[in-house]
Chain A
Amino acid sequence: MNLEQEWQNLGVEFNTKASQIDTSKLTIDEKAHSLLQELIFKLKWKLRWIRIIDLPLLALAIFAKGDLKILLLLVVITYEICRALGVRDFNKIKTTVDFNANTKQVLMDNLNAIKKILSGETIFGYIFLPLAGPIGLLAYRLYVHQSFEQVIQRPYFFIQMALLALVGIPFIWLTKRMNDSIFKKPLKQLSDKLNDLMD
Chain B
Amino acid sequence: MIAKSYLDKLEAHKGIIYKMVNLYADDEEDRKDLYQEIVFQSWQAYPRFKGDALFSTWLYKLSLNVSLSFLSKQQKRTQLKNREALDYYFEPPELSERADWLYRCIKQLTEIDRSIIMLHLDGFDNTEISEMMGISRNHANVKLHRIKQQLTTLLTGK
A residues sitting closer than 8 Å to B (CB atoms) are: 1, 3-4, 6-7, 9-11, 13-15, 17-23, 25-35, 37-38, 41, 97-107, 110, 182, 185-186, 189-190, 193, 196-198
Task: Write out, one digit per residue, whether chain B residues 97-132 have a CB within 8 A of any chain A CB (1) or not (0).
Answer: 011001100000011110100000110000000011
Residues of chain A lying within 8 A (CB to CB) of residue B42: 99
Residues of chain A lying within 8 A (CB to CB) of residue B79: 30-31
How far is B23's CA from A157's CA once the two chains are assembled, in angstroms?
Answer: 63
Interface centre among A31, A100, A189, A198 (most CB of B within 10 A): A31
How far is B74's CA from A184's CA once the two chains are assembled, in angstroms?
Answer: 11
B109 to A: closest C-beta gap in Å: 10
Residues of chain A lying within 8 A (CB to CB) of residue B66: 99
- CB within 8 Å for A28 and B69 given contacts A6-B98, A13-B96, A99-B45: no
Beta-carbon contact of B133 and A104 below 8 Å: yes
Beta-carbon contact of A34 and B62 below 8 Å: no
A19 to B: closest C-beta gap in Å: 8
Beta-carbon contact of B40 and A18 below 8 Å: no
- CB within 8 Å for A10 and B102 given contacts A104-B135, A193-B111, A197-B112: yes
